[in-house]
Structures are given as C-alpha cells and as structure tokens.
C-alpha cells in the first residue's frame, strides 16, 4: 500500500467514532449495558421496549457478516428499567476480517460510555456431561486464533472477564431455578470444526467450550474501559465426544430451541450488570 493509499484509509479511531455516531442515532448514547447476540440468539432483541433499530448495512465503517443466523442489526430499547443496546449478529475472523474489524462495534460501545457488555455465542461442548442447550458463563479464555485487536499501549490488560459479573450471572441462574455452568472458552480461527485430536488437545489445555468468535470483542471492550461478561450456549458436543456429524444448521437449531431460556437469563441479568458497572459518562 502506497503512502497515498494509506491516507485514504480511515484510522481505527475514526471508524469507531463513526460507528458510535450511527448508534447514537437510535439512542445508544444513553444505553446502560450492551449485549452481543450470537448464532440463533437474535430473538432476545424483541424483548426490548420502546425500541429503535438500525441495520448494520446502514452503519458506516462496519464490516458485513455473511454467516446465516447473524442478522446484522442494532436495537436499542428498555428492559427492566435500564436502557439496553443489542447487537444481533457479528462478523468473524474466518470471513476474512481482521481482529480490528470484528471488534469495532465493541469499541464503539465503550466510546458511547456504556459501562458493561455481555458477549454471547454458540459453542461446542468439551465436557461430555454437558448436554446441548447448556449455558456456560465464560470465566476465562484461551486465545488460539493467532490474532488480537489490541494496539501497543493497550497490552497488559490480562483476562478481560469480570469476576463480579461472572458471579452475578451464576447467581441469576440460581435465582431463576435454571443453574448455569462456568468454564473456559477456547477461541479458534475456523471456519472448519475441530478434529477429534484437536478436541483432546483443547481438553488437556483446560478448555470447556470451543468457538470461533468473542475473544477479540472481549479484549477490545476491556481496553475501552468496559466491564466484560460472556455466556456460551453449548449447541453440540465437539468432535469425538458425540455420534452426530457437526454442521451450522444444528448450531442454529439448538440456539433457537434454547433462545427463551437464554433470553430469560439475559432479562434478569442485564439490569444487575448495569447497576454493578454503570455508565461511565
């Protein structure tokens, strides 16, 4: 790339500020908490009241997703007395996007002053005793994607996952009579599913679930000053642990079947998260 071409490419900060401005048009500058909805989990956004929506295609500087189940829209509305910004659908590294690209929206949440973000995803289960439909709060992660969204001055943050929010989500599950698990999420590059040998290696490394998203967003959100939490919906047993062949249709089907229970957890948890990590400005 020539020096002239470099001048034409918007900086990361300029792209993030542009996304934040677009989200402010639906009231996101007043949001208390943000949530990113993974594969099959988009119906939660319909619970928001007095909602306003903007499609990802209408947000300048935001990359587009080509993955089924990732609608590509932002909805801002009210839930349990707090203002929630929901991102339905995300982009992935395996679509050819950079770690910076996939974390732009998460950075924009921070620029808007939102205090906390809850990242959700569909994941493969690495523990045979966890059936499909299990919800797992992310307490830590393994970044095996070979990518990071962080820039030099942002290094050294360590784990982005808030222990306080982990405890809150586990407590909410108990209160609802639907206990959730907690564990370590391993992020791989994808797009192919893991081999049985890779699954054995991941289990040896201490992972409890495996997926292809979330980590870059978590790191970027933490670097922007947000409190970060995450929940994985275990949609299938990873290769070698079950008898069925893996495919994305199964991921979507289990995500949709679990959507109501997942949405109940989010409905109860987000107001508590907003109180624990209030808006920063």
Token pair of 175, please?
């209160």
Is residue 157 within 8 Å of residue 222, measured between CB atoms? yes
40-50 exposure pattern, b = at least 16 Cβ within 10 A, e = fewer: bbbebbebbee
How far apart are the C-alpha atoms of 40 and 258, rounded to whole Å? 9
- 224 occurs within a structural domain: yes
Number of structural domains (the chain) is 1
Alpha-carbon separation of residue 222 from 5, 30, 54, 212 (angstroms): 31, 19, 25, 19
Inside any domain, residue 201: yes
pLDDT per residue of the chain (281 residues) written in tens, 0 to 9: 444 444 445 788 999 999 999 999 999 999 999 999 987 777 889 999 999 999 988 999 888 776 654 458 999 999 999 999 999 888 899 999 999 999 999 999 999 999 999 999 989 999 999 998 899 999 999 999 999 999 877 766 689 999 999 999 999 999 999 889 999 999 999 888 889 999 999 999 999 999 999 999 999 999 999 999 999 999 887 755 655 655 556 666 666 667 888 889 999 999 999 999 888 77
CA distance 174 to 265: 10
Residues that are catalytic: 39, 70, 92, 94-95, 122, 212-213, 236, 248
Tokens representing 28 are: 């996101």
CB-based contacts of 215: which residues, under 8 Å, 6+ apart? 141, 143, 145, 185, 187
Task: State the CB neighbour count (10 A cutoff) for residue 174.
Answer: 10
Structural domain for 212, as ranges:
3-276
Domain assignment of residue 281, yes or no: no
Q: Mention every residue, 6+ apart, whose C-beta is less than 8 A from residue 4.
A: none
- CATH number for the domain that contains residue 172: 3.40.50.1580
């Amino acid at each position: 790339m020539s020096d002239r071409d470099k001048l034409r490419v918007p900086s990361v900060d300029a792209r993030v500020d542009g996304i934040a401005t677009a989200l402010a048009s639906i009231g996101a500058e007043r949001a208390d908490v943000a949530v990113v909805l993974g594969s099959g989990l988009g119906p939660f956004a319909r619970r928001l009241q007095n909602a306003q929506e903007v499609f990802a295609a209408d947000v300048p500087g935001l990359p587009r997703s080509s993955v089924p189940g990732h609608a590509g829209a932002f909805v801002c509305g009210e839930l349990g007395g707090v203002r929630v910004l929901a991102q339905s659908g995300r982009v992935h590294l395996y679509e050819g996007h950079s770690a910076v690209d996939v974390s732009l929206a998460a950075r924009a949440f921070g620029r808007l002053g939102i205090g906390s973000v809850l990242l959700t995803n569909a994941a493969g289960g690495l523990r045979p005793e966890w059936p499909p439909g299990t919800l797992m709060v992310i307490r830590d992660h393994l970044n095996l994607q070979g990518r990071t969204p962080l820039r030099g001055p942002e290094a050294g943050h360590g784990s982005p996952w808030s222990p306080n929010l982990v405890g809150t989500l586990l407590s909410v599950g108990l209160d609802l009579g639907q206990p959730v698990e907690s564990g370590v999420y391993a992020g791989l590059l994808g797009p192919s599913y893991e081999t049985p040998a890779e699954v054995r290696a991941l289990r040896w490394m201490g992972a409890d679930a495996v997926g292809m998203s979330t980590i870059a967003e978590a790191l970027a959100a933490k670097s922007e000053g947000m409190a970060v939490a995450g929940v994985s919906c275990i949609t299938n047993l990873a290769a070698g642990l079950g008898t069925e062949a893996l495919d994305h249709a199964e991921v979507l089907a289990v995500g949709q079947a679990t959507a109501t229970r997942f949405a109940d957890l989010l409905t109860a948890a987000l107001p508590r998260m907003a109180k624990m990590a209030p808006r920063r400005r």
